[in-house]
Structure 1
Amino acid sequence: MAASTHWLATATAQSVLERGGTAVDAAVAAAFVLHVVEPHLNGPGGDLTALVAPAGEHPFVLAGQGAAPAAATIEHYRSLGLDEVPGAGPLAAAVPGSVVAWLHLLETRGTWELADVLAPALGYARDGHPVHENVVRVITAVAPLFEEHWPTSAAQWMPGGTAPAPGDMITNEPWAAVLARLMGAGEAPSSSAGSSRESRVRAAIDWWNREVGSAVEEFVREPVQHSLGGALPGVLTAADLAAYAPAEEEPVALSFRGVDVVKAGPWSQGPVLLQALAILEARAATSPHGDAVLDPSTALGVHTITEALKLALADRDAWYGDPAHAEVPLAELLSASYAAERAAAISENASREVRPGRPGGRSPWMPPVRSAGETAADPLPGSGEPTLDRAGRQRGDTCHLDVVDRHGTMISVTPSGGWLQSSPTIPGLGFCLGTRLQMAWLDEDAPSRLAPGIRPRSTLSPTMLVRDGRVIEALGTPGGDQQDQWQLLYLLRRLVGGYEPQQAIDAPMFHTDAMVSSFEPRTVQPASLTVESRLGDSVIEELRARGHEVTVMGPWSLGRLSCVGVDPERGCFYAAANSRGAQGYAAGR
């Protein structure tokens, strides 16, 4: 089974599975297709967070998140007159992790040759694919930026001076050439790749680090327009790319209603979902309403869930960071006693302030808390993250992919970063750099501070479910700060409400922006609540009466969840995908 945010990626993964490939082979092939067909949402210069569960084994985290470059210091950014890391432009770039992470996974866990895995992406990049209307919408929105400041992006995405029309066949010839060279790197006669499949993939990684790293360094030396601070050079070097290696890490987990919910560690926002589940379990245990407070279809449930999310997200901003460089009190944050303490802070009305807790009696670091009205409008339309804007308008989001093979190996991955509007296109490579560093603070006391070698705290947050020691489901969604919010609703409907996967995905969604945004502008809307209109007028009015500032979106506008899983009782696999936007797709047999 395969499910993703784009039908061509799902079709690619399924075709690999049908031809005997494993979930790893299929996921890598599909991910490179996503680089091509959703370039406004992810790219080769971006990053990924994955949960990988080989058949019969416990899941591990594949951290395809690069760290801050060696020259990315608070002092340097301050010397440029910056108070925050820009939301667009090369100064916002962490070391690109996506391509090397995928190749590492193929090398260590895959079975197919690199050329076979990359063939679908090469075909779409070289021969073309019909461009989706959302890609066109983004290109049109940032066309003035491209024309005035980023001519290399204009040349790539607006050939002839105009944006493509929906359905036009578009190509990316520079990226196709890079893919072709990757495919041939380990097979060149002069190569020291050796005769094994693994050594050939390793040779491709070495070529990427050497050749792509040099091209990146040369390009970012020249000043380009950033979203803050005018025209500035970047700091990323070939040495930074060469030093990068993806990490395989132990996940964190929490037991909820007989299922272990598995997430990446606190360098991601993954534990937010676990904290919210723990807080809600504690609230249900003490409320006279019981499990009714966990129902996302009622005003009581929406209110309680939203307030629990606010508390968990406040802890994210105060405590989360790269655990190799910050003391993250994760055990206390996930403890039942702390969850009960946080649950007691939920009142009958909407809270209007950011309230991090004090796990173990510690004092929280407080990020700047500013409302949207306290910051200037974005200087560049490409800044921030391509998700819902602060007024609730749909801008796009990131990508997601789930795969399970016939052996039971399961993968859930959220690729992102390096979208076409994040930074100027690098000539000869056909892609741009990501902007993950915008999540780091220019404050030495922040757990997610900017410093060389530290991973910025990411929003990418896939999920796996384990029952009785067996992985039974992989799921996730794009959506920046909303990822774990939408997944929480899905899990409550599945594990408490008894919904089938597709029912849980299709049910009305909501989220809050009552946290410090992970993206420029880094503001807070303390009482905000964005809902799909299908939630119902009476529910919406009661939420407003409780003090929530409700923004009503279209009936099918929030969330892009997908999942794959195995049902041991029925002896079958299943998959489901988001129906919103008629773009996500699930397939299998």
Structure 2
Amino acid sequence: MTFTTRPTLTGTVGMVSSTHWLASQAGMRMLELGGNAADGAVAAGFVLQVVEPHLNGPGGDAPIIVASADDPEPRVLCGQGPAPAGATPEHFASVGLDRVPGSGPLATAVPGAVQAWLVLLRDRGTLSARTVLEPALHYARRGHPLLAQASATIDRVRDLFAEDWTTSADQWLVDGSAPPPGTLVRNTAWADTLERLLAAEDGAVRDGRSREQGIDAVRRAWSHGFVAEALEVFSRRAFRHGDGPVLPGVLTAEDVAGFEPTWEPAATLDFAGHTIAKTDVWGQGPGLLQVLGMVEELAGDLTGAADGAGDSTRVRVPAPAVADPSSVEGVHTLVEAWKLAMADREAWLGDSLEDPVGVAALTDRSYLRQRAGLIGEQASRELRPGSPGGREPRIAAQALLTDGAGAADATTGEPTVRRDGATRGDTCHVDVVDQWGMLVSATPSGGWLQSSPFVPELGLALGSRLQMMWLEQGLASSLVPGRRPRTTLAPTLVLRDGIPVLACGTPGGDQQDQWQSVFLLHHLVGGLSLQEAIDAASFHTTSFPSSFHPRASEPGVMVAESRLGQDVLEALRARGHDVLDAGPWSLGRLSAVARDPGTGLLSAAANPRGMQGYAVGR
């Protein structure tokens, strides 16, 4: 039997897996109250904003994928807000900036997370906003034990807080220092904001309005009421942008009011007898579809390699070496496929092109076959975007010049894994499955305490997602007001025979889909259980431009857990990979839930790395 750190949970009522045990339990409480997976996901999402404040917040963003047994078409709810109207290349040039900074008011996109969670609750949930937000309100008002990583994050930025972001210092510092791990921390300002928002629902209920109208009343209080007004006033204040200039932001109440989360079709690819569902080209998710497609082109038909996701009685068939992410051939193939997919990401993924390249062209089998043919025996150090449909690729000039690790300040977004393998924190994830067959996968992020100064009137910080957009125009991810920054946030839903069977995801910035590809190959092809696949040794490459300021790349570098084995790592070095040993347990924070449609058996697993993620269920 393959080693696991804990069992894969199984049951028939419901399962929740997330990056924090309190969020998982909050989601499970909604299932115990008779709610469904959407109710559970929203409860968990709002709790994550409180208990992982260094990884996400109400001022951030949240892409969500949903499907159910009675409505099996996977749908993406886009909680990624666009660039504000005033965020123009001309404005950045006028204040002396040649790129979007990694933190501070000017890096702010329109906050989308709160709106997205509420739309999910309205459209797919069953409970009231007050019921679902009660756990988050409790932890904001009465406190939660501060995570060690949150304490370390506050300590890294305490000088900036004390010297410039004084509103953040008032919230997060105690006598000028970071609270020690385990300290009971409260955010009473956010608790007050939640109460004001929920008062709008209470008023709608008293007026005899429907559940849905009550939730919309909460949304209006956010987007057209006191929240939007306070955000505009605060955005006019000048603050330091990390270690850069002191400048005000450009976000307005009108920007906040103009954002509406959208339901969209998922981008999909058939792989190994399953259908993988991701966000469209405004996210990096299509890269995962490309990589899995390239692997299948090289391995041949993988249908039946493992007998079904979520089936505890699966039959295991040895995977071809090229599709086995524990073998030298499999690791090499996956890393090289990701270099090609990430080069395509730089050229083609984003929301800013007037004539975008669609996922269909990027995942066309003949195109993937041609791309897979570029994978040789030796590691590539080139950035090689393709030409889907015969179109000529274009990469940002700065992306082609930024080799090396770069010098990022302590506020830079999602600095997940350094060259030495140390993890500094990144974002969050939650997956939920209920007894009726609904699955939800969500990756909330942004608006963390180190992304922008704390807004004391509201109890939140704004996000820094605009750092993923280039000031150079004509690119897929150019800064254009009203367009969404290309996000690294990458939830995943998997279907079999048209029925949703698996939801999974992980924090990790540029590494999110890379780590998921390792998991999916182990689970869908190699036949490992959810927990076995999560526990398996992971790896990724940084041989492409980072999504985060200062947008550096490290040609040829791959980071790997030592548990792959020294013989495997040495063989990869012999193939030209610059292998960095990250230690035995450092890469990935995967969560996953599954449902076997034949038996109704539910399952869940969570990442043991960092001793923070947990799955619950019964």
Question: For 1:15-34, what aligned pairs fall within 5 Å after superposition?
Answer: 15-34=29-48
1:130 corresponds in structure 2 to: 145
Question: 1:502-522: per-residue Cα shift (whole Å, max 9, x none)?
Answer: 100000000000111000110
In the TM superposition, residue 372 of structure 1 has moved relative to its aligned partner by: 4.4
Counterparts of residues 529-568 of structure 1 (less than 5 Å): 529-568=558-597
Maintained 8 Å contact 2:238/2:246 = yes
Displacement of 1:214 in angstroms is: 0.8
Is contact 1:10–1:586 with CA below 8 Å preserved after alignment? yes
Q: How far is 1:358 from its partner?
A: 1.0
Q: Does the aligned pair in 2 maintain the 1:387–1:397 contact within 8 Å?
A: yes
Q: Which one is further off, 28-37 or 178-187?
A: 178-187
Q: Deviations over 1:197-256 (max 9, x none)?
A: 111111111111121111111111111101364001100000000011001000011111
Q: 2:100 aligns with which of 77, 81, 85?
A: 85
Give the SS at the match of 1:491.
helix
* 2: CA distance, partners of 1:465 / 1:302: 23
Shift of 1:151: 0.6
Does the CA contact (< 8 Å) of 1:87 and 1:520 recur in 2? Answer: yes
SS at match of 1:301: helix
1:369 is the counterpart of 2:400: yes
Question: 1:387 Cα shift?
Answer: 1.4
Deviation by residue 1:289-323 (Cα, 9 ceiling, x = unmatched): 99211111111211111000100111011101127
Deviation at 1:257, TM superposition (A): 1.1
- The AA in structure 2 aligned to 1:53 is A
8 Å contact 2:122–2:212 — kept in the other structure? yes
Check the 8 A contact 1:44/1:99 in 2, yes or no: yes
What CA distance in whole angstroms lies between the structure 1 residues aligned with 2:119 and 2:85? 23
Aligned counterpart in structure 2 of residue 280 of structure 1, from 295, 317, 320: 295
For the residues of structure 2 that align with 1:438 and 1:390, how far apart are their CA atoms? 21
**Does 2:364 match 1:335?**
yes
Task: Output one character per residue of 1:465-493: Cα deviation in whole Å (capped at 9) or x when no partner.
Answer: 11111101111111000011001011111
- Measured against aligned partners, the alpha-carbon deviations of 1:365-414 in whole angstroms (never above 9, x if no partner) come to 11222344485x23x31123241134432111210000111211110000
> Would the aligned equivalents of 1:385 and 1:520 in 2 still touch at CA under 8 Å?
no
CA contact (8 A) 2:541 2:559 kept: yes
Deviations 1:234-288 (A, max 9, x none): 00000000011001000011111110111110100010000001111112249xx
Q: Residue 310 of structure 2 corresponds to which residue in structure 1?
A: none
Structure 1 partner of 2:239: 224
Q: 1:482 aligns with which of 507, 511, 524?
A: 511
Normalization by structure 2: what TM-score? Answer: 0.92
Counterpart of 1:248, as a letter, is W
1:393 to 410, 422, 427: 422
1:373/1:526 Cα in 2 relative to 1: closer, same or farther (>3 Å)?
A: closer
Please list every run of 5 or more consecutive structure 2 residues that lacks an aligned counterpart in the other structure: 1-14, 302-317
1:202 alignment partner in structure 2 = 216
Distance in 1 (CA, whole Å) between partners of 2:176 and 2:580 is: 37
Partner of 1:40: 54
Q: Which amino acid aligns with 1:395?
A: R
User: How many Å separate the matches in 1 of 2:239 and 2:545?
Assistant: 28
Match of 1:269 in 2: 284
- Contact persistence 2:197–2:218 (CA under 8 A): yes
Number of equivalenced pairs: 585
Aligned counterpart, 2:346: 317
Residue type of the partner of 1:514?
S
2:452 alignment partner AA = S
Asked if structure 2 preserves the Cα contact closer than 8 Å seen for 1:267 and 1:457, the reply is yes
Amino acid at match of 2:185: I
Residue 308 of structure 2 is matched in structure 1 by none
Separation in 1, partners of 2:451, 2:594: 34
User: Could you tell me which amino acid in structure 2 is paired with residue 370 of structure 1?
Assistant: L
- RMSD, matched Cα: 1.8
Mean CA deviation greater in 277-286 or 329-338: 277-286
Instruction: Give the structure 1 partner of residue 268 of structure 2.
Output: 253
Letter of the 2:514 partner, please give it: Q
Aligned pair 1:422/2:451, yes or no? yes
Counterpart residue number, 1:153: 168
Question: 1:473/1:257 Cα in 2 relative to 1: closer, same or farther (>3 Å)?
Answer: same
Q: Which residue of 1 aligns with 2:309?
A: none
Distance 2:369 2:207 in 1: 56
Question: Per-residue deviation at 1:329?
Answer: 3.8
The answer for the alignment partner of 1:167 in structure 2 is 182
What's the secondary structure of 1:253's corresponding residue? strand
- Give 1:546's aligned amino acid: R
Give the secondary structure class of the aligned counterpart of 1:389: coil
SS at match of 1:152: helix
- Aligned counterpart for 1:115 among listed residues 130, 155, 159: 130
Cα 1:325/1:194, change in 2 over 3 Å? farther
Is the CA contact 1:349–1:547 (under 8 Å) kept in the aligned structure 2?
A: yes
Does the CA contact (< 8 Å) of 1:280 and 1:305 recur in 2?
A: yes
Contact kept in structure 2, 1:87 and 1:228, CA below 8 Å: no
Tell me, yes or no, if the aligned pair for 1:193 and 1:200 is still in contact at 8 Å.
Answer: no
Contact between 1:531 and 1:551, CA under 8 Å: does it hold in 2?
yes
In structure 1, the residue corresponding to 2:454 is in which secondary structure?
coil
SS at match of 1:350: coil
Q: Distance in 1 between matches of 2:49 and 2:472?
A: 33
SS at match of 1:249: strand
* AA partner of residue 4 (structure 1): S
Which residue of the partner structure matches residue 437 of structure 1?
466
**CA distance in 2: counterparts of 1:338 and 1:109, whole angstroms:** 37
Matched, 1:74 2:74: no
Give the gaps of 5 or more residues in structure 1: none
In the TM superposition, residue 112 of structure 1 has moved relative to its aligned partner by: 1.0
Q: Match for 2:544 among 511, 515, 528? A: 515
Distance (Å, rounded) in 1 between the aligned partners of 2:165 and 2:568: 46
Query: Matched residues in 1 for 2:70 and 2:595: separation?
Result: 13
Letter of the aligned partner of 1:273 in structure 2? L
**In 1, Cα distance between equivalents of 2:109 and 2:190:** 20
Q: Distance in 2 between matches of 1:284 and 1:258?
A: 14
Cα-to-partner distance string for 1:511-554 (whole Å, 9 max, x where unaligned): 00011100011011110100001111111111111111111012
Q: Is the 8 A contact 2:353 2:474 kept in 1?
A: no
TM-superposed CA distance for 1:140, in Å, is 0.9
Which residue number corresponds to residue 10 of structure 2? Answer: none
2:613 aligned with 1:577: no
Query: Does 1:98 pair with 2:127?
Result: no
In percent, how many aligned pairs have the same letter?
54
